[in-house]
Amino acid sequence: MSKKYIDTETLKYLLFDVHNLGELLSKKRFEDHDIESLNMFLDSVEEFSDRELFPYLAEMDTKPAHYKDGTVIVNKQVNTYMKKGGEMGLISAPFDYGDGGLQIPFIIQTASTYIQEAANNQLPGYGGLTLGAAELIVHFANESLNKIYVPKMLSGQWGGTMCLTEPQAGSSLSDIVTKAYKTDKDYYKISGQKIFISAGDHQFAENIIHLVLARIEGAPKGTKGISLFVVPKNRLNSDGSLIKNDVMTVGDFQKMGQRGYCTTHLGFGDNNDCQGWLVGEPNKGLTYMFKLMNAARIGVGRGAAAIAMAAYQASLQYSTERPQGRKLTSTGKKNPDETQCLIIEHPDVRRMLLLQKSIVEGSLSLVLLASKYQDLLLTTSDNELKIKYNLLLEIITPIAKTYPSEAGINSVSNGLQVLGGYGFCSDFILQQYYRDIRIFSLYEGTTGIQSQDLLGRKIPMENGKGLELLSLEIQKTIKVAYQYDELKPYAKKMGIKLELTQEVLSFLMPFAKKGNYERYLADANLFMEFFSIIIISWLWLDMAVNSKQKLQSNDLTYSKDFYESKIHTMKFYFKYELPKTISLANTLMDEETLTINEYKKNIFV
């Protein structure tokens, strides 16, 4: 039996039915697309992933990217991916026609990349970083920079990166020290070190365009003095040829997972000959970067969701092929005369599979929803609606980044457990997924940072308007769910959880109001977990409502079992995951303060 890494039916069901892509396609921006054409696009992506991505996943792990003689040696498939993928429009698709794109909805780009990442979570990163860097140039740089760089990036000929992190600063961007010195030409001279630069260099790269955060000499301290520069690995000579731009590859971090996706250490301007071109205005670098941060963060959630999907499929397949033990029924219990049953027949294995299914499909629905909010924000002209979609996008983004990454670790771990000892062995892919997914809670702002963003910025923004709008969306689903007897108990539970959210926030808010942010945010991670589970429960209820509607109308694109499995999995999530919010709320509303520094100095003695 060939290996399956994705459940395409569920992806399409979520896209076309649950998230109602058709409605989005009525927008002028997408007028050249219809469901059929987008369906074909996704099919071609899957076919490409089957052929060019999935077969290289294990090999990229066992023969990792590594530093050699001033560059990074990566799997040759990186080259194939950039060239063929670029040709197919995998990088350019969401861009405007004017910038060489196809103006496909962002939700379709998400689905496309999700398919690719389920097949191979490492290769698409090389395209994804290029896309992000090109987007920054398109949005914020001048026309001339756009003309030089963007076409070759979108075609996959040149790569791109985001250079934020520095050794001494880590997540604390206000402490960036990379310098930019003004010259009398149109460029600045750049000098500094950047670490953890994904896709930062490789032997096939004719050029790599780095988008670098740096401080112009004399700029204000902190985040207000950071500018953004285009710094190519090779710059254009006056004759149009490329010459080296004093960007040195100092090393490649060796990692526990995603070992085929290089993570470089770059040095800029060691020989005082590194030229960088300012993007937009001085000191606005972080603002630009963060305008595209939502997309980047949703992208991280998408990647984690995709790995969890692939791991679920692998463990599901194993469980239907592996006989072991006997069912615990009164007759079957340990009776050696009976043949062994398949392990999928054991309730505990089914629990592990359903746990995965509920996390995997819930996460997918979440990243698609966040992408849809992006599309709606981009294509809505009505100002009030624009504000609405912006707030919804802002509040959902840290959750879309974090839930798939954190719950995904648990999901993949359960997938590994399904295989027993084999899950830990290199002959099976689960152990690779287990390693690969662990980085997603660190990428693009750790879970700690996302949680502070959610509770510290997104919940209080506009006097709680984002949360209010999201609650209204949830209430809409609850209302429809009440129309179906089978769904009523779950609709009721959902309503109770909205009230519980208010209760938790009523407990926490006074700390913020008194200016005690340290206490307010001390358990932000727990709030993130609490609220994420409620959001995923909502998305499951929404899926169940949709499936119920389909079953009642007899409008069955998929099998009856398919829709019933969605309702069943919703019930599973409500029984096994949603109750966790009770204990989390309990802890969040506990008066005790045990983690704040001043309280006790020496608690780690």
**Binding residues for a copy of itself restricted to 172-191, rule: CB under 8 A:** 172, 174-175
Residue 176: half-sphere exposure toward Cβ, Cα within 13 Å: 31
307 conformational bin, left if phi > 0, alpha if psi -120 to 50, beta if neither: alpha
> Which residue, 151 or 448, has its beta carbon nearer to a copy of itself?
448
DSSP tag of 433 = H
426 binds a copy of itself (CB under 8 A): yes
Residues 346-375 that bind a copy of itself (CB under 8 A): 346-351, 353-354, 357
> Which residue, 476 or 600, has its beta carbon nearer to a copy of itself?
600
Residues 491-520 that bind a copy of itself (CB under 8 A): 515, 517-518
> Which residue, 473 or 564, has its beta carbon nearer to a copy of itself?
564
**Which of 120, 294, 441, 546 forms a contact with a copy of itself (CB under 8 A)?**
441
Residues 522-561 that bind a copy of itself (CB under 8 A): 522-526, 559, 561
As a whole number of angstroms, the distance between CA 127 and CA 125 comes to 5
63 binds a copy of itself (CB under 8 A): no
Q: Beta-carbon neighbour count of residue 8 at 10 Å? A: 15
For a copy of itself, which stretch binds (CB under 8 A), given 100-108, 110-118, 301-309, 319-327? Answer: 319-327
With 0-12 / 13-18 / 19 or more C-beta atoms within 10 angstroms meaning exposed / middle / buried, residue 46 is buried
> Which residue, 369 or 429, has its beta carbon nearer to a copy of itself?
429
Q: Return the bridge partners of 198, or none.
A: 263
The distance of closest approach from Cβ of residue 248 to a copy of itself in the complex, given in angstroms and rounded to an integer, is 19
> Which residue, 75 or 263, has its beta carbon nearer to a copy of itself?
263
The distance of closest approach from Cβ of residue 94 to a copy of itself in the complex, given in angstroms and rounded to an integer, is 28
Q: What are phi and psi of 188, to 5 degrees?
A: -105, 160
416 binds a copy of itself (CB under 8 A): yes
324 binds a copy of itself (CB under 8 A): yes
> Which residue, 262 or 391, has its beta carbon nearer to a copy of itself?
262
β-pairing, 208-216 vs 179-182, is parallel
The distance of closest approach from Cβ of residue 272 to a copy of itself in the complex, given in angstroms and rounded to an integer, is 27
> Which residue, 217 or 518, has its beta carbon nearer to a copy of itself?
518
143 binds a copy of itself (CB under 8 A): no
As a whole number of angstroms, the distance between CA 47 and CA 405 comes to 26
**Which of 438, 458, 497, 548 forms a contact with a copy of itself (CB under 8 A)?**
438
> Which residue, 231 or 409, has its beta carbon nearer to a copy of itself?
409
Residue 264: half-sphere exposure toward Cβ, Cα within 13 Å: 31
Whether residue 13 contacts residue 557, with contact meaning beta carbons closer than 8 Å, is answered with yes
Query: Tokens representing 394?
Result: 């802002």
Q: Beta-carbon neighbour count of residue 147 at 10 Å? A: 10
280 binds a copy of itself (CB under 8 A): no
Question: Which residue stretches of 482-579 are H helix?
Answer: 488-513, 517-521, 524-553, 560-576
The site that binds a copy of itself (CB under 8 A) totals a number of residues, namely: 105
With 0-12 / 13-18 / 19 or more C-beta atoms within 10 angstroms meaning exposed / middle / buried, residue 88 is middle
For a copy of itself, which stretch binds (CB under 8 A), given 69-77, 415-423, 478-486, 548-556? Answer: 415-423
**Which of 70, 98, 218, 336 forms a contact with a copy of itself (CB under 8 A)?**
336
**Which of 382, 384, 427, 555 forms a contact with a copy of itself (CB under 8 A)?**
427
Whether residue 492 contacts residue 554, with contact meaning beta carbons closer than 8 Å, is answered with no
Residues 82-111 that bind a copy of itself (CB under 8 A): none
Whether residue 129 contacts residue 199, with contact meaning beta carbons closer than 8 Å, is answered with yes
Query: Tokens representing 424?
Result: 């830990």
> Which residue, 294 or 319, has its beta carbon nearer to a copy of itself?
319
Residues 443-472 that bind a copy of itself (CB under 8 A): 446-448, 451-452
Whether residue 209 contacts residue 149, with contact meaning beta carbons closer than 8 Å, is answered with yes
The distance of closest approach from Cβ of residue 597 to a copy of itself in the complex, given in angstroms and rounded to an integer, is 5
Helical (H) or strand (E) element with 396: helix 383-418
In angstroms, how far is the first alpha carbon of the chain from the final one? Answer: 55
Q: Is 204 helix (H, G, I), strand (E, B) or coil?
A: coil
26 binds a copy of itself (CB under 8 A): no
Q: Is 209 helix (H, G, I), strand (E, B) or coil?
A: strand
**What is the chain's length?**
605
Among 297, 303, 245, 234, smallest CA distance to 270 is for 245
Query: Tokens representing 519?
Result: 């206490």
144 binds a copy of itself (CB under 8 A): no
Residues 225-254 that bind a copy of itself (CB under 8 A): 253-254
As a whole number of angstroms, the distance between CA 345 and CA 329 comes to 11
> Which residue, 245 or 569, has its beta carbon nearer to a copy of itself?
569
The distance of closest approach from Cβ of residue 413 to a copy of itself in the complex, given in angstroms and rounded to an integer, is 7
219 binds a copy of itself (CB under 8 A): no
As a whole number of angstroms, the distance between CA 391 and CA 472 comes to 13
As a whole number of angstroms, the distance between CA 205 and CA 62 comes to 22
**Which of 147, 424, 479, 496 forms a contact with a copy of itself (CB under 8 A)?**
424
As a whole number of angstroms, the distance between CA 239 and CA 249 comes to 26
Q: What are phi and psi of 198, to 5 degrees?
A: -65, 140
As a whole number of angstroms, the distance between CA 266 and CA 252 comes to 9
**Which of 165, 191, 390, 397 forms a contact with a copy of itself (CB under 8 A)?**
165
The distance of closest approach from Cβ of residue 13 to a copy of itself in the complex, given in angstroms and rounded to an integer, is 11
Q: Beta-carbon neighbour count of residue 387 at 10 Å? A: 15
290 binds a copy of itself (CB under 8 A): no
The distance of closest approach from Cβ of residue 347 to a copy of itself in the complex, given in angstroms and rounded to an integer, is 4
The distance of closest approach from Cβ of residue 2 to a copy of itself in the complex, given in angstroms and rounded to an integer, is 18
**277 CB contacts (<8 Å, ≥6 apart)?**
141, 145, 186, 187, 188, 229, 230, 231
**Which of 58, 169, 461, 480 forms a contact with a copy of itself (CB under 8 A)?**
169
490 binds a copy of itself (CB under 8 A): no
For a copy of itself, which stretch binds (CB under 8 A), given 20-28, 141-149, 297-305, 416-424? Answer: 416-424
Residues 556-595 that bind a copy of itself (CB under 8 A): 559, 561-562, 564-565, 568-569, 571-572, 575-576, 579-584, 586-587, 590, 592, 594-595
**Which of 58, 442, 480, 509 forms a contact with a copy of itself (CB under 8 A)?**
442
> Which residue, 151 or 460, has its beta carbon nearer to a copy of itself?
460
> Which residue, 237 or 597, has its beta carbon nearer to a copy of itself?
597
